[in-house]
Amino acid sequence: MTNTLFEGFGLKKIINASGKMTALGASAVTDEIANALKAASQDYVDIDELIHYAGTVIAQHTGAEDGCPTIGAASGIVISIATVIAGKNLSLIEKIPNTDGLRNEIIIQKGQNVHFGGSIDQMIRIGGGIVVDVGSANKVESDHIEDAITDKTAALLYIKSHHAVQKGMQSIETMINIAKKHNIPFVIDAAAESDFKTYIAMGADIVIYSGGKALEGPTSGFICGKKDFMEAARKQYKGIGRAMKVGKESISGLIVALNQYPFKDARVDEQISRMTNLCNKLGKVEGLSCSIKQDEAGRPIYRAQISVEKEAGISAEQLLHKLESGNPAIYLRHHYVNVGILSVDPRPLLVGQEDIIADQIISIIKEAKETNVQ
């Protein structure tokens, strides 16, 4: 078997059952996207013209008035915050993140001020925002949001993510209504969401997406929204955005990915079938139970959830470590490993890799039980 590029570098082979995770390179792109990346890297273009063209493509696929490509969703947050604070004023843009004396407060619900591999709080601050998180981590009332609004409020920010607390928070609709009532921009970070039209249709002013997650594009991201805001967002590349500028390769791959996206199928039946087969294998092992669970945020993703019980002779954390230490290294979704739960995401798996995962888990459990007997 031919080595992959990364194996040629001397790096370990990876089976990604974790999902579209930044730490594992997010997505593996189609041949068409890969060809766009190659062609762009071997040619020249007016970058401003390419960014503007990308904005029209983003608008076409989101229903927004305009768009702006970014290097990722995290930079999208930074640029969006800088946008609502500095607008198109170049002197203010060049002062970011120093926003003393400006309208710079960003209201976010406490349960959504989370860590996603980086800190939402820090992304806001890099963009010049002063974080105002309201309510409690598991309970926010609409009054908490309204009471926090002052003449310094620059925007309301909503984080749509499985990392965020899913209960006790105020809804997107409530946040939009409050924003409109007070004539304040409403920004939503929907990084990993698969529906690129819903939040614009609901009335959001700025929506942020990852290009490497649900879209399955290259390392990239995009912002969409009202035309004035998108013009201001693009202008941030003369300021804080310069440190996170998006290149011709990423923009070109993003454009191709967006144009392909309407023809993509979530293949829900295939997901469920593959994960059912995995669960049937693992369910025969004493100490393991396995079931199919839909994504916590309601996306069309159906993962196998594996519960590791004491009869397995090994903890979920130990099993995870052994899987990641193997060859190939197998990475499972481990957000709930502390309570004995691991998950397998079918989307990034190549054909037959679910069988390799099942066989390796069974082998590790067997070895653990034999060791315990000795």
pLDDT tens per residue across span 83-97: 999 999 999 999 999
Give residue 371's pLDDT band: very low, low, confident or very high (50, 70, 90). Answer: confident
How many residues does this entry show for the chain? 374
What residue spans of 87-141 are helical by DSSP H?
90-93, 120-126
Q: What is the pLDDT of residues 231-247, one digit of tens each?
A: 999 999 999 999 999 99
**pLDDT the model gives residue 313:** 87
CA 337 to each of CA 103, 119, 230, 289, 296: distance values in angstroms, whole numbers, following the listed order: 42, 21, 40, 14, 16
Residues of CATH 3.40.640.10 domain(s) within the chain?
A: 44-263
User: What single DSSP character describes residue 103?
Assistant: S
* Percentage of the chain modeled with pLDDT above 90: 75
What is the value of pTM for the model shown? 0.84
User: How many angstroms separate the CA atoms of 60 and 79, rounded?
Assistant: 21
- Which residue, chain included where needed, has tokens 């190549």? 350
Residues sharing a CB contact under 8 Å with residue 243, sequence separation 6 or more, in sequence order: none
> For the stretch 141-156, what's the b/e string if a residue is b when 16 or more beta carbons lie within 10 angstroms of its beta carbon?
eeebbeebbeeebbbb
Question: Can you give the pLDDT at residue 337?
Answer: 92
Q: Which amino acid is residue 58, in one-letter code? A: I
What secondary structure letter does DSSP report for 112? G
Quick check: helix, strand or coil at residue 62?
A: helix
pLDDT beyond 90 at 368: no
- Is the distance from CB of 275 to CB of 73 less than 8 angstroms? no
CATH number corresponding to 5-19+265-373: 3.90.1150.180
Q: pLDDT for 123-151, tens place per residue?
A: 999 999 999 999 998 999 999 999 999 99
Rg (CA), the chain: 22
Confidence of residue 162 (pLDDT cuts 50, 70, 90): confident
Cα angle, residue 192 at apex, residues 189 and 197 outer, rounded to 5°: 70
Confidence of residue 8 (pLDDT cuts 50, 70, 90): confident
Q: What is the DSSP string of 211-234?
A: SSSTT--SS-EEEEE-HHHHHHHH
| Count of alpha carbons within 13 angstroms of residue 268, beta-carbon side | 7
Which two structure tokens, joined as six digits, stand for 53? 């063209």
Q: Read off the pLDDT of each residue in 38-55 and give the average, rounded to a whole number.
A: 97
Question: Any idea what DSSP says for residue 153?
Answer: E
Asked if the bond preceding 185 is cis, omega within 30° of 0, the reply is: no
Q: For 56-75, write each residue's pLDDT tens digit.
A: 999 999 999 999 999 999 99
pLDDT digits (tens, 9 = 90+) for 311-339: 888 999 999 999 999 888 999 998 899 99
pLDDT at 369 over 90: no
Query: Of residues 9 and 105, which shows the higher confidence score?
Result: 105
CA distances from 207 to 161, 293, 299, 320 (A): 13, 27, 17, 35
pLDDT-based confidence at residue 1 (cuts at 50, 70, 90): very low
Q: What is the mean pLDDT of residues 218-243?
A: 97
Could you give the percent of the chain with pLDDT greater than 70?
98
**Between 3.40.50.970, 3.40.50.300, 3.40.50.150, 3.40.640.10, what CATH number should domain 44-263 receive?**
3.40.640.10
- From-to residues of CATH 3.90.1150.180 in the chain: 5-19+265-373
The whole-number pLDDT of residue 49 equals 97
What pLDDT is recorded for position 258? Answer: 97
Mean pLDDT over each residue of the chain, to the nearest integer? 92
pLDDT per position as a tens digit, 246-303: 999 999 999 999 999 998 877 899 999 999 999 999 989 898 999 999 987 677 889 9
Q: How confident is the model at residue 370 (pLDDT cuts 50, 70, 90)?
A: confident
